[in-house]
């Protein structure tokens, strides 16, 4: 499975734009949708390849950035390796730094050695395709488009995008959540959670000073919007006369039943996203320390691949209790966070 940061419902909207000033964006969105469908159809196997382990592994990043030079051929020409001086290309350096920031969060905070926990090299390709309106993790590497210049700018510019996509790899190697329905929305949400935490850790932001936005700065000035998604207030990231309003629900009462987008995985991820924000807000301070630790522990707790919202909520309560104690403030904050979005956390189903 290939995971892209821009949801298909937004690309569909852009592809239908008829205004002369957005012709390039519409054409780019149509090409991106076509390419994304091909990538999804490829169904790359996301599993540990062969079970082969390297004898000696250092807990340090091993980054390689390549340049596709406007083609769709991967990996492209290598332009920067681990330890090299910055390149003259800003996209190369943004990708390099974003991969490093993601490695740092997982290594320094959670003791995880790269995406697979075993020192997996971090590879990225920039300048993929022509006006390609997405960035994705394909199971082996990060791939970045440059955007169309009318709706989207370059996708390397957002650290939350890089952290989001690489976290799909972490989920791949841990919980393996099926990318459909509620488990798929959880898969997306977990990537949003740790995408935000990558940025917050790098910038040393508290939960109060962080933006809680996914993809801030991706939109050009021609779009009325600040980001692709808001974890703090799902449904408010953009409101544009051409692109429409951010359709994410913020609570389970407004869960979207649909057959599109693998059962609405990019839509309904707003529900667990806000639950995490509420937990982080209730605990205060740095979100990666306690709220993030609970979510990371939950990833390692033996979730079923088809875990739904209620099952995940119960697992986060159990993880908080195991680490901090059953009567702790952390457990209370987790329960309150899920209650705030209408999801029961006692394993008995959904509240509200």
| Structure confidence by residue, pLDDT tens digits, 321-345 | 999 999 999 999 999 999 999 999 8
- Please name which of 142, 122, 143 lies closest in space to residue 132, comparing C-alpha atoms: 143
Q: Evaluate if residue 196 carries a pLDDT over 70.
A: yes
Q: Which fold has domain 3-173?
A: Elastase; domain 1 (3.10.170)
> Mean pLDDT over residues 228-249, rounded?
97
- Please name which of 36, 13, 52 lies closest in space to residue 240, comparing C-alpha atoms: 13
Q: Evaluate if residue 211 carries a pLDDT over 90.
A: yes
pLDDT tens for each residue of 250-299: 999 999 999 999 999 999 999 999 999 999 999 999 999 999 999 999 99
Task: Sketch the domain layout of the chain as residue ranges.
Answer: 3-173, 181-339
CATH placement of domain 181-339:
1.10.390.10
Q: What is the pLDDT of residue 3?
A: 65
Q: Which residues are designated catalytic?
A: 165, 266
Report how far residue 224's alpha carbon sits from residue 74's, in angstroms, rounded to the nearest whole number: 34
Q: Evaluate if residue 40 carries a pLDDT over 60.
A: no
- Residue 136 phi, psi dihedral angles, 5° rounding: -150, 160
Which DSSP category does 43 fall into? -
Q: CB–CB of 185/248 below 8 Å?
A: no
The pLDDT-based confidence of 37 (bands split at 50, 70, 90) is low
Tally Cβ neighbours within 10 Å of residue 152.
Answer: 30
In the structure encoding, which two tokens stand for residue 140, read together? Answer: 């082996």
Report how far residue 77's alpha carbon sits from residue 95's, in angstroms, rounded to the nearest whole number: 15
Q: CB–CB of 9/247 below 8 Å?
A: yes
């Amino acid at each position: 499975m290939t995971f892209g940061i821009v949801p298909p419902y937004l690309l569909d909207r852009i592809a239908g734009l008829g205004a002369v000033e957005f012709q390039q964006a519409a054409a780019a969105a149509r090409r991106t949708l076509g390419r994304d469908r091909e990538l999804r159809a490829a169904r790359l196997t996301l599993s540990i390849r062969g079970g082969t382990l390297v004898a000696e592994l250092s807990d340090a990043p091993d980054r390689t950035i390549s340049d596709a030079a406007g083609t769709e051929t991967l990996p492209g020409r290598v332009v920067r390796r681990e330890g090299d001086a910055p390149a003259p290309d800003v996209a190369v350096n943004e990708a390099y730094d974003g991969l490093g920031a993601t490695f740092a969060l997982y290594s320094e905070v959670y003791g995880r050695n790269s995406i697979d926990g075993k020192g997996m090299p971090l590879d990225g390709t920039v300048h993929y395709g022509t006006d390609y309106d997405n960035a994705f993790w394909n199971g082996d590497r990060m791939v970045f488009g440059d955007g169309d210049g009318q709706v989207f700018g370059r996708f390397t510019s957002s650290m939350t995008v890089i952290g989001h996509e690489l976290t799909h790899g972490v989920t791949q190697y841990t919980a393996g959540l099926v990318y459909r329905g509620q488990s798929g929305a959880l898969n997306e949400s977990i990537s949003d959670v740790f995408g935000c935490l990558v940025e917050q850790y790098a910038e040393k932001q508290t939960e109060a000073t962080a933006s809680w936005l996914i993809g801030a700065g991706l939109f050009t000035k021609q779009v009325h919007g600040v980001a692709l998604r808001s974890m703090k207030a799902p449904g408010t990231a953009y409101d544009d006369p051409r692109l429409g309003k951010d359709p994410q629900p913020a609570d389970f009462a407004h869960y979207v039943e649909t057959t599109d987008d693998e059962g609405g995985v990019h839509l309904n991820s707003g529900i667990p996203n806000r639950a995490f924000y509420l937990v982080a807000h209730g605990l205060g301070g740095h979100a990666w320390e306690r709220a993030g630790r609970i979510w990371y522990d939950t990833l390692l707790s033996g979730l079923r691949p088809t875990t739904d919202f209620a099952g995940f909520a119960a697992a986060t309560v159990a993880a908080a209790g195991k680490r901090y104690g059953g009567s702790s403030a952390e457990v209370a904050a987790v329960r309150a966070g899920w209650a705030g979005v209408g999801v029961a956390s006692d394993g008995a189903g959904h509240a509200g």
